[in-house]
A and B are shown apart, each in its own frame.
Chain A
Amino acid sequence: MLPRFWRKIRYRYNLVGTYCENCRTYYYPPRNLCPKCRRKSKIKEVQLSGKGKVISYSIVHDAPENFKMMKPYVVALIQLDEGPIITSQLVCKPEEVRVGMRVRAVFRKYGEEGESGIIYYGTKFVPDS
């Protein structure tokens, strides 16, 4: 678990994605090759704005052990303004969330491996007022 998380820290802490200069499409998570352009891909790494909107969501009542303290919580499909769609926890009350709601990325704790283990951090979203 530790090395796998460590390798992805960069992409979890920040919404670092890729952009294909050939067809002007953004990707997150980052890709080495544009699936549309294939060999014509012109990929470069970009920092995404972290702003977007909710396109779908569900309320988690039956949480895994690590997330029990947080239930009920919202997991949403979020479309970033640049285009890519990502799944993330949305930090707000279940009754607050609605489709089309504007959201922005924040830095939060994902969880920890018990009281003596590693603490995991990464990107979540909050309502953007």
Chain B
Amino acid sequence: MVGIVSYGTYVPKYRIRVEEIARIWGDNAETIKNGLGILQKSVPDLDEDTATIAVEAAREAVRRAKIDPKRIGAVYVGSESHPYAVKPTATIVGEALGIGNEYFAADLEFACKAGTAGMQMCMGLVKAGMIEYGLAIGADTSQSRPGDALEYSAGAGGAALLIGRDGVIAEVEGTYSFTSDTPDFWRREGQPYPSHGGRFTGVPAYFRHITSAANGLMEKLGLKPSDFSYAVFHQPNGKFPVRVAKMLGFGMEQIKPGLVVSHIGNTYSGSSLIGLCAVLDEAKPGDRILLVSFGSGAGSDAFSLIVTDEIENFDRTPRVWDKVMEGEHIDYGLYVKLRRKIRFG
């Protein structure tokens, strides 16, 4: 049985409210909150980046797994905001976890779905018997152009999933991906902020890929929406996952436990994985969970997970929702300083 053995999450403590950003740009905060389904987003501290977030999430996962870190044979870090353009984040994580030098490692990039791509790679390596445990991480501290609509949603956070065969708390019943060349969102080398196709990001990108991946997986496994206790879809805002759930035939009660975006924003590669971890926090043995990520450019990875009896013996504190709901609110001035949007000379 291959699946999730442990998980960890990290969300920076600062938050900025939609009202505070709208105040600066002369937007109507109520319109934006209603339109995006977001109240606030998380903001990293000056000394936090994708590497520190990845390390904190991974340390929590390894601590809760109660295994010797040297048994981890692979580290994949998915992000679109790796601190270096050339020099992997995965080696920083591997060193900070003390897993030694014998491990497979690479940084992955596929907009917001690089973390779930890492899960699939780890699953393959575990299944093939090449590694005992693999660590798949999705983490981001994504930048947004001041005044751009993305500024309301681009948050920071990450999650780490330990994949293995022993002590599985959620078995991966199946995985399925849907991929196409769709230029809905991109960032060219050397550019500080991403560009996007505006309304083009909806129907041909997010909705097409998520519904195709979810339907493809359910067809392959002979499952229907009512077979799942929970569903987690990528959360670029609070509206898209609700709409895509409805399109697929899932109800609010299935998606609400994993819908964290309203309080931390879109954490990109962390987004669907933090949602999954929030669901694992409350899931019971026998529950079936659908996870579908989305990465611009574009693709979706769908997973069907079945929670095992092992989850009863697993330490699930601190809980994801507690991390999501706590936090300290900052004003736009401090936000600009923390995100280094002012350049001197």
Contacts and interface: CB of A to CB of B under 8 A. Distances in A.
Interface of A: 9-10, 13-14, 16, 47, 69-70, 91, 106-110, 119, 121, 124
A107 B95 contact: no
A82 B96 CA distance: 20
A121 B98 contact: no
Interface string B68-107: 0000000000000001100000001001101000000000
Interface secondary structure of A, over-half rule: strand
Contacts of A47: 98
Given A91-B47, A124-B47, A108 B52 contact: yes
A107 B46 contact: no
B281 interface: no
B51 A121 contact: yes
A14 B98 contact: yes
B339 to A, nearest CB: 12
Interface of B: 45-49, 51-52, 55-56, 59, 83-84, 92, 95-96, 98, 337
B98 A108 contact: no
A9 B95 CA distance: 8
Contacts of B49: 109, 119
18 contacts: A9-B95, A13-B95, A13-B96, A14-B96, A16-B98, A69-B46, A69-B337, A91-B45, A91-B47, A107-B55, A107-B56, A108-B48, A109-B46, A109-B47, A109-B48, A119-B51, A121-B92, A121-B96
User: Which 7 residue pairs of A and B lie closest in terms of their CB atoms, listed nearest first?
Assistant: A109-B47, A107-B55, A108-B47, A13-B96, A107-B52, A108-B52, A13-B95
A82 to B, nearest CB: 17
Contacts of A10: 95
A109 B92 CA distance: 11
Contacts of A106: 52, 56
A10 B48 CA distance: 19
A65 B55 CA distance: 27
